[in-house]
A and B are shown apart, each in its own frame.
Chain A
Amino acid sequence: EAEVAQSPRYKITEKSQAVAFWCDPISGHATLYWYRQILGQGPELLVQFQDESVVDDSQLPKDRFSAERLKGVDSTLKIQPAELGDSAMYLCASSLADFNSYNEQFFGPGTRLTVL
């Protein structure tokens, strides 16, 4: 069964360091999402790609966060420098398309980031 892959599963870093997360969506899925989930809350969309183009990054803290999906397949989310408040689960999801109200998103296992 096709799955969304993410790595690493866990990351511990010190504040002011750089971290990077990788996501490989289900083959053929044009839309890719990065969510941040703070403990005790629901996921919040950080950035959404349609193929290689960013369609929504309104909630991405662009002074420290960056995301790319250069070939429209896998994607990398980077934080530089990391801050204590960035400690959270980072979830990647993918879907076939994003053009109507029905949109089943398939989620990866997430990367749990701890910033010390």
Chain B
Amino acid sequence: AQKITQTQPGMFVQEKEAVTLDCTYDTSDQSYGLFWYKQPSSGEMIFLIYQGSYDEQNATEGRYSLNFQKARKSANLVISASQLGDSAMYFCAMREDYTGGFKTIFGAGTRLFVKA
């Protein structure tokens, strides 16, 4: 079973509008972390935002916010006021406990296209 599911292979958004990238996860752990990374065409992965499973408030970092719905096991990324430079792949990831430590598992990603 997929641990991290990103159902949108590609998304289009008009410049200056907001966009939501979906992410659902599967875990039986009580303590886990959720991350979003951005991967431009150059290849490097850039950390965007983190949400802990015990955090009661949704995480925000500048134009990025994470819509965390624990009961539904979803952690959607919201990008406000999209910019052309936001065009990239976006990966949702989860860190969960396993025997011996924590492990990070990535979803398959969503490619975002920002239109001028």
Binding site for B on A (CB under 8 A): 40-45, 55-56, 89, 91, 93, 98-110, 112
Q: Is the CB of B47 within 8 A of A106?
A: yes
Taking CB atoms and an 8 Å cut-off, the chain B residues in 72-113 that contact chain A are 91, 93, 95-97, 100-104, 106-109
Give me the 9 closest cross-chain CB pairs, A-B, nearest first.
A42-B106, A101-B33, A107-B45, A110-B43, A109-B44, A101-B95, A43-B106, A42-B91, A104-B47
Chain B, interface size category, equals 20 to 34
Query: In the complex, which residue of chain B has the Cβ closest to the Cβ of A31?
Result: B101
Main secondary structure of the interface of B (DSSP, over half): strand
A-B contact sample (8 more), CB < 8 A, given A105-B45, A109-B42: A42-B106, A45-B103, A56-B103, A100-B102, A101-B33, A101-B52, A101-B97, A112-B43
Partner of B101, one of A42, A55, A109: A55
Binding site for A on B (CB under 8 A): 4, 31-33, 35, 37, 42-47, 50, 52-53, 91, 93, 95-97, 100-104, 106-109
What would be 17 A-B contacts, judged by CB atoms less than 8 Å apart?
Answer: A40-B108, A42-B107, A42-B109, A43-B45, A43-B106, A101-B31, A101-B95, A101-B96, A102-B33, A102-B52, A103-B33, A104-B35, A106-B47, A107-B37, A108-B44, A109-B42, A110-B44
